[in-house]
Each structure stands twice: as C-alpha cells, then as structure tokens.
C-alpha cells in the first residue's frame, strides 16, 4: 500500500542528548524496527496475536507487557527518539525478543496495518494539548478512532488512560462516534494486569488521579 499524507506531527522528535549507553542501544534500532510496506506475517512468523502500544514514552509499560506475554508479538510506536532509546535499553537488559518498533508517527503505520489484524491497542497518557485551539493535535481524534476500529480484531480491546479529566471526556466523546466501540471499563482503579507508565507515576506523585478506560470492538 502506498504511504498517504498524514496531518502535521506536533510533538517533540528529539530531547536532551542521550547518554553513551542509550546511544549504543539506538544502533540496534534498525534491527528491531518494522519497515513499511508492512508484512505482519513476516514480522511475527507463527504468532497468533499482535498488540500495539501507541506513544510508549520511556517504554516501561511495553517492556513489562512483552515480558509477561512472550507468546504475543508487540509493536511499539513512538516518535520521540529518546523514548525509543529508552525502550531499546529495556529490550537488551530484559532480553525481549517479541517487540518491534515503529519510530515515527503512528498514523503512517496505522494506514498500512491490515484490517482486523491487532488484538489489543494501548494509548496511555497521550499528550493532552490542553488549549482549545490545539485540540486538533490530539492523537485521539475522529480519524484515528476510525483507523483503530479498522485495524482492531472483532472482540479486540483498546486501553486508554489520562490524568486530565477533560481529555477523558474527549476520549469518550470520540469513541462514541464509532458504533463498533463499546465502553466496558471506566474507573480510577486499574485492573491488576495493567503495568504502570512513567507519566502515570508522575501524575500520581502530583496528586492528579488517572482515569482508565477499556473499549471492546463489537
Ligand atoms: C505524554 S507522553 C506519554 C508516554 C507514555 N505513554 C507514558 O504514559 O509515560 C505521549 C507520547 O506519545 C508520543 N506520540 C505522540 N503522538 C505520536 C504519534 N503520532 N506517533 C507516535 N508517537 C506519538 C510522544 O512522543 C510521547 O512520547
């Protein structure tokens, strides 16, 4: 499939200069990346389920899930190269062999994923873009929700979290626009099988209490 244009990406692609070890880890990026055009069978031969984390940040949630679920193939999408380097460090320390990375705007990946190909999708503490004039930059938007619905398997789930109450309302509004999505969990308490993320821990420290959502695709 030909790459189509996506709207401009507004987040950061680079941060502080990386320490030596992380720079070393980045040398492995090509080896553990998925490349477009995508062939999921070749990326994960023999694997039954593929889970996708969008904007994995430092990668702690992705690494914990991949370690707990060695029979699942994981795709981690993250546009911020420092986050990618951080995950690659976990990958090497934890010897994770079931994760492939997409170090770019996830919208380029979504348009290449086949219909009904992904069993679980995670979007945790996405950038809230709090100013009204910036809401259109949010990753949870009508176009992306349609794409998520297309790539998700029937019966598959999407897990979302935020510590910004207005963004939780925004997510609920956007997911309501897609009739296949059914909200089946909405709480300040998360299920036990849900590892923490760096932003989640920062939010809790600042006494901003996160809210967790799970949608199922009918
Ligand atoms: C606020 S951080 C949260 C990181 C992590 N999920 C956590 O909870 O710690 C949001 C992350 O999403 C990434 N991101 C935002 N838009 C993206 C996009 N279109 N494609 C890939 N990554 C994206 C950003 O680079 C950033 O690392």
- Domains of the chain and any CATH numbers: 20-217 (3.40.50.150)
Average pLDDT, the chain: 94
Least confident of 23-27, 76-80, 173-177: 23-27
> What is the arithmetic mean of pLDDT over 46-55?
96
pLDDT for residue 7: 81
Q: Which residues are catalytic?
A: 127
Confidence of residue 120 (pLDDT cuts 50, 70, 90): very high
Atom of ligand 1 nearest to the CA of 199: 9
> What is the arithmetic mean of pLDDT over 64-68?
98
> What is the arithmetic mean of pLDDT over 25-46?
90
- Whether 3 has a pLDDT exceeding 80, the answer reads no
CA of 129 to the centre of ligand 1 (A): 12
DSSP line for the chain: -PPPP-PPP-S-S--SPPPHHHHHHHTTTTTTB--SSP-HHHHSTT-S-EEEEES-TTSHHHHHHHHH-TTSEEEEE---HHHHHHHHHHHHHHT--SEEEE-S-HHHHHTTSPTT-EEEEEEES-----SGGGGGG-SSSHHHHHHHHHHEEEEEEEEEEES-HHHHHHHHHHHHTSTTEEEEEEESSPPTT----HHHHHHHHTT---EEEEEEE-
pLDDT for residue 16: 84
CA of 147 to the centre of ligand 1 (A): 17
Atom of ligand 1 nearest to the CA of 107: 19
């Amino acid at each position: 499939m030909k790459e189509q244009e996506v709207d401009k990406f507004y987040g950061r692609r680079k941060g502080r200069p990386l320490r030596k070890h992380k720079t070393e880890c980045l040398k492995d990026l090509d080896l553990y990346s998925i490349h477009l055009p995508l062939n999921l069978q070749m990326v994960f031969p023999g694997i039954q389920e593929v889970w996708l984390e969008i904007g994995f940040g430092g990668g702690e949630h992705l690494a914990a899930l991949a370690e707990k679920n060695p029979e699942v193939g994981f795709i981690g999408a993250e546009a911020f190269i420092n986050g990618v380097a951080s995950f690659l460090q976990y990958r090497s320390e934890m010897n994770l062999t079931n994760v492939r990375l997409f170090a770019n705007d996830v919208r380029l990946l979504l348009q290449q994923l086949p219909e009904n190909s992904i069993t679980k999708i995670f979007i945790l503490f996405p950038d809230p873009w709090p100013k009204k004039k910036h809401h259109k930059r949010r990753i949870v938007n009508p176009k992306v929700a349609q794409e998520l619905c297309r790539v998700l398997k029937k019966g598959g789930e999407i897990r979302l979290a935020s510590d910004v109450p207005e963004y939780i309302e925004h997510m609920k509004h956007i997911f309501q626009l897609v009739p296949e999505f059914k909200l089946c969990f909405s709480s300040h308490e998360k299920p036990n099988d849900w590892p923490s993320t760096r932003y989640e821990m920062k939010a809790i420290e600042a006494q901003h209490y996160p809210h967790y959502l799970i949608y199922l695709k009918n």
